[in-house]
Structure 1
């Protein structure tokens, strides 16, 4: 039985405007006094140390040092709102610059002797001193307040307690916060809960307030398809992370802002998961949310852009916020370089090269991006928004490069658990009570990279078998896309810096392919639009490969492929790193080919050895659905799954997802017991999960004001191939 204490985070009485204690800036608390005293003492200590260390900077005497520290606090409190407003006007890069130099300006003004009797410090000296002051003050406060709330959480809680509660028309209707822990397989969650290394989630399960279960995403097990299914209720028309739109010849890339907007427009029916007063934070798609922050398909929304800039600017304008982000970034880079070197020294297998680029990516997603997402979610909760959906990519990004169960990957997951604890605390001061649902969009599988195992990547293999030019894109860009969505969403078009960042975003997400000439010379970037006939396009999506013959307006059959490239399909089928190949046929529809037999999935007929035998009982239905989409490639190539249950990614990743084999189709969900349990034995498909989540919202009283339901979206007939 669930105790009231265990379920307090879901059954707390809503604090409405009238029931909640009213407080304003004049309401002083002992905690505020204590923080102010600690801040002044830390600043004073920092000023004294800066006087010893920084040339041409000197605060003479302890009395003047204390006075200067108090002045820094006062001047900072006055200037900080002005700096935030200015940062909003000049864009988020301006916010960073003002965060860097703003404290220096404050220290410079405080140290200036307006009487002219003493030598005034140059600004560079004051700027250097401000970093000493910030570092010492942050360390001092951290040591003095060890065991209390995290600085970001404490700041959010103070803001929530002081803010005037919003006027909600439905304060008794509970809200829902959907937290997507990207790429977490169910077995990893289960082990973390059992071991107690995820203390928040483990507490929920052990107290009986929540339940957890496995759900199964269909092929392809990748974020674009799963998020489209979860948020909009359909997974049709998305065969992988990248694909070719045959009528136009365009290559769609799901984490390119313009493409994401088109993809969502093609799939939404206007009644997505977040349509009822929802907020989308750091996702690929909006789910029809009225408000979307750092969401790839909605980076053009200027109102949300400005609000995101306010949140980021407010965070960075505070010395402890900037210092915390900078220290976490530096420490995360150092930690990554050490762990990468240790993996090499120990000869950890499987392993990929982890350079400085990934170190910066990991630091960003685990630092500033995580804090910004948490701030935006908390801000939406404090506004009393009905439903919020946020995607944390920390675990997914690290596990891609390190592996599913390596310490650095599990540490990233523990960081998400800590964020959930922070949001749980924010819920105690929110004007609406909130339920928390934690889920992943897919799992991950692990294994040695295909190119490392066999000495050539999929593009080189196709080039060798066809003796033709091949344009390829096999680089994973999911975490890069998350960073790009933050850059694009917070840049805007109303400032010079914003427009410059917009151009940078365009360069990050530019959809260009790498051409691999048949003579083996160095590849050169080639736009997809320039591809000619009898030229192959090869995309890697985890351990799922997509091969298109360029310039074709419809999917080629096996006979067509044999006429173009006689050795291609037999060579792929016979390769030891390929588990199965899917092609279309004139007589039997989609057929799965393996070295010892074939599976005619439309007819349910197996000839010889079943090539899908090692990929789970749902594999035939998953393949049939994916292979009958109009967007399906001419050839699907799925890697092997070996005796360890490991696969071979066609991208340079240890942990991967996109195809079949391993844990990539073993996603997880954790929900409060106050909501109806999902259907047994398991939810299959992100579209089915969407219906469960919508049912929960309706159970809580959401979505009652929506217009009458439109006609159901037509579902393609899986019994016949599509053009």
Structure 2
């Protein structure tokens, strides 16, 4: 450990020296461009660079505190103005510099801008700069219960167990390989529920229930509108229906960048509390430090720009190579990818580091890097695997940062679901699911099949960082723009007979109204609907209940009674595994379930599915690896035996047991008695 600290210190000294040299050179160039600025010796500019650099170190903490209170959007102009003033004062106080007032101001602004960029870029080449800066932020707090170990739960969003296992076997993810080799962690597979989505899995992991979530978004009969799980206002409704006050994080835990809070006292960047706890000072201070620090802003600026450029090049390369399956990847996705894989990744890490320094007992943080890219590129494409390696680097960072924590911390890695891939349904068959339903019913159909996951993550960031005054007005304007994308087309027009939603390769068909319709009701209204869907070559099965309440799964050449297991003809669930019947029966038992569940086919040779959204990598239904998730944890926290887990509510009990082994949950609220 001492050698690692010496390495970090040496890296800091090298970066400081590089910044000083380049700042001096930039000063000389800027002065050469200004005819009214001169110096008696080049060493005078070296002295100016040194004075301005030291002054910047002293001013930066003040900028952080001021911007955290008046609004995070103010930090950038404050930093620029502050550095310009510092540079001007240094120029007029160092002997040997001759400049008119306005020439000095112009030169100082040029130097402040270029010098800032150079300093930031010098710290952005590796994660060591950010790690070192985070470790220097301050001493760990003193906690009253140092004998209680802390736990950091890291959600690697969308990473399937087979994908991570292959990455380990192929020589990637060096941190995870080391953990497995030295026995500090063990890797297990678990099975999420249907739907295989982040909302259902994260509600189960954090709150211990997967009820009332039939998909990523659905028509809510109680509210008479569509609920979108990654829209903050809707996430709040979903959590309020599920929480009993005893969530995973109720005992001095923190939720970071999640959909739901897990009953944590503090939840930065968490959607279910974004509106209620808009603009927490802690989050704004972290963002202000992030932007004001060279190791922080360099990563959010240079890596964000680089990520956009890289995405556009990779998308073009896919087209040139005519890779299939693929979709058109536009500039909007490039920007959203840059947010998740650059800004949010480092900001999440900074927030986790702060919580470990404070001694928070448990932290649950969601890194969405791999999931976001795999949706648009594919589960095994180079850019997706690069994101997986990036997450492995984050684990190395957190492992290093944990050594400066206020208590001993264990790192536990969990994924919420996996992904399968394939050509989207609409591209493959020339019509989307809503269009097919309209053709079979000749009725007005409202289709909601656009992808909004990335927009929701941007929405939580904008909402949580909002404030009053000018910065508040700016962030609220951005919030309205992002929220509009998340909620686009989520209200059925009065004349819509059907609402059809896509959730990966799981489709949902609703007849708007307070009651769930049966197969008999649907046959009476639209006799071609169910047979036409079941017979379509891109649809594996259709599921609904009959008038007697019996759940049926209907395929092109057979059907299955989910209550008894009786099969007539060919079993439509045979391609999806022995667990498919249990998972589907559980989903259909929910009152929120649609009138019809529709699942795409799966190719048993390639494991390809066909998403009802415009996505290459998808999850939500059955087929392939979307129902294969992972758990990577210290064996001491797991106990002596491992039993197969099915459903995120079952995994919740495993995670709670880990906390209890560390001495947590003694202060958890008592269970509510009926």
The equivalent position to 2:471 in structure 1, one of 487, 497, 501, is: 497
Between the aligned partners of 1:666 and 1:432, the Cα distance in structure 2 is: 33
Q: Residue 124 of structure 2 contacts residue 295 of structure 2 at CA under 8 Å; is this kept in 1?
A: no
Q: Residue 305 of structure 1 contacts residue 489 of structure 1 at CA under 8 Å; is this kept in 2?
A: yes
* Correspondence 1:601 to 2:558: no
* Correspondence 1:388 to 2:368: no
Q: Residue 121 of structure 2 contacts residue 298 of structure 2 at CA under 8 Å; is this kept in 1?
A: no
The equivalent position to 1:41 in structure 2, one of 13, 16, 21, is: 21
1:508 aligned partner: 482
Deviation digits for residues 676-717 of structure 1 (CA, Å, limit 9, x no counterpart):
2486452111000000100111111101122433338xxxxx
SS in 1 for 2:145: coil
2:111 aligned partner: 129
Deviation larger for 588-597 or 263-272 = 588-597
The equivalent position to 1:321 in structure 2, one of 296, 312, 318, is: 296
SS in 1 for 2:189: strand
* Correspondence 1:154 to 2:132: yes
Between the aligned partners of 1:55 and 1:350, the Cα distance in structure 2 is: 59
Matches within 5 A, 1:41-80: 41-52=21-32, 61-80=41-60
Between the aligned partners of 2:26 and 2:169, the Cα distance in structure 1 is: 44
SS in 1 for 2:280: helix
Between the aligned partners of 2:32 and 2:391, the Cα distance in structure 1 is: 40
Between the aligned partners of 2:15 and 2:640, the Cα distance in structure 1 is: 46
| Structure 2 CA distance for partners of 1:583 and 1:319, relative to 1, 3 Å | same
SS in 1 for 2:571: coil
* Correspondence 1:377 to 2:355: no
Matches within 5 A, 1:354-369: 354-369=329-344
1:531 aligned partner: 494
Deviation digits for residues 572-599 of structure 1 (CA, Å, limit 9, x no counterpart):
1111100000111013511110000111
* Correspondence 1:241 to 2:202: no
* Correspondence 1:443 to 2:425: no
Deviation larger for 172-181 or 111-120 = 111-120
Between the aligned partners of 1:55 and 1:294, the Cα distance in structure 2 is: 49
Between the aligned partners of 1:55 and 1:616, the Cα distance in structure 2 is: 77
The equivalent position to 1:291 in structure 2, one of 256, 263, 266, is: 266
What is the deviation of 1:543?
0.1
Deviation digits for residues 382-402 of structure 1 (CA, Å, limit 9, x no counterpart):
001000000000000000000
2:190 aligned partner: 215
SS in 1 for 2:637: coil
Between the aligned partners of 2:331 and 2:546, the Cα distance in structure 1 is: 46
Q: Residue 196 of structure 2 contacts residue 417 of structure 2 at CA under 8 Å; is this kept in 1?
A: yes
* Correspondence 1:587 to 2:561: no
Matches within 5 A, 1:107-506: 107-111=87-91, 118=100, 120-121=102-103, 126-138=108-120, 150-160=128-138, 163=139, 165-302=140-277, 305-492=280-467, 494-506=468-480
Matches within 5 A, 1:642-653: 642=603, 643-653=605-615
SS in 2 for 1:491: coil
- When normalised by structure 1's length, the TM-score is 0.87
SS in 2 for 1:291: coil
Deviation digits for residues 8-49 of structure 1 (CA, Å, limit 9, x no counterpart):
x9xxxxxxxxxxxxxxxxxxx998777655543342233234
Q: Residue 56 of structure 1 contacts residue 125 of structure 1 at CA under 8 Å; is this kept in 2?
A: no
Q: Residue 278 of structure 2 contacts residue 464 of structure 2 at CA under 8 Å; is this kept in 1?
A: no
What is the deviation of 1:64?
1.8
Deviation larger for 436-445 or 597-606 = 597-606
- When normalised by structure 2's length, the TM-score is 0.93
Deviation digits for residues 266-323 of structure 1 (CA, Å, limit 9, x no counterpart):
1001000000100100000000001111000011354872110100101101244323
| Structure 2 CA distance for partners of 1:129 and 1:507, relative to 1, 3 Å | same
Between the aligned partners of 1:55 and 1:472, the Cα distance in structure 2 is: 64
Between the aligned partners of 2:134 and 2:484, the Cα distance in structure 1 is: 37
| Structure 2 CA distance for partners of 1:528 and 1:416, relative to 1, 3 Å | same
Between the aligned partners of 2:309 and 2:362, the Cα distance in structure 1 is: 37
Deviation digits for residues 491-533 of structure 1 (CA, Å, limit 9, x no counterpart):
13x333224423432442248877xxxxxxxxxx5x616434x
Between the aligned partners of 1:330 and 1:634, the Cα distance in structure 2 is: 45
* Correspondence 1:92 to 2:55: no
| Structure 2 CA distance for partners of 1:151 and 1:141, relative to 1, 3 Å | closer
Deviation digits for residues 297-355 of structure 1 (CA, Å, limit 9, x no counterpart):
01135487211010010110124432332111111111111111111000111000011
Deviation digits for residues 392-450 of structure 1 (CA, Å, limit 9, x no counterpart):
00000000000001110011111111111111111111120100001100000110110
Q: How many residues align?
A: 666
2:625 aligned partner: 663
- Please give the root-mean-square deviation of Cα atoms over the aligned residues, in Å: 2.6
| Structure 2 CA distance for partners of 1:554 and 1:142, relative to 1, 3 Å | closer
The equivalent position to 2:538 in structure 1, one of 577, 590, 602, is: 577
Between the aligned partners of 2:211 and 2:114, the Cα distance in structure 1 is: 55
Between the aligned partners of 2:151 and 2:296, the Cα distance in structure 1 is: 28
Between the aligned partners of 1:708 and 1:153, the Cα distance in structure 2 is: 39
Between the aligned partners of 1:117 and 1:229, the Cα distance in structure 2 is: 66
Q: Residue 250 of structure 1 contacts residue 529 of structure 1 at CA under 8 Å; is this kept in 2?
A: yes
| Structure 2 CA distance for partners of 1:123 and 1:401, relative to 1, 3 Å | farther
What is the deviation of 1:79?
2.4
Q: Residue 542 of structure 1 contacts residue 659 of structure 1 at CA under 8 Å; is this kept in 2?
A: yes
2:666 aligned partner: 704
Q: Residue 113 of structure 1 contacts residue 119 of structure 1 at CA under 8 Å; is this kept in 2?
A: no
* Correspondence 1:549 to 2:511: yes
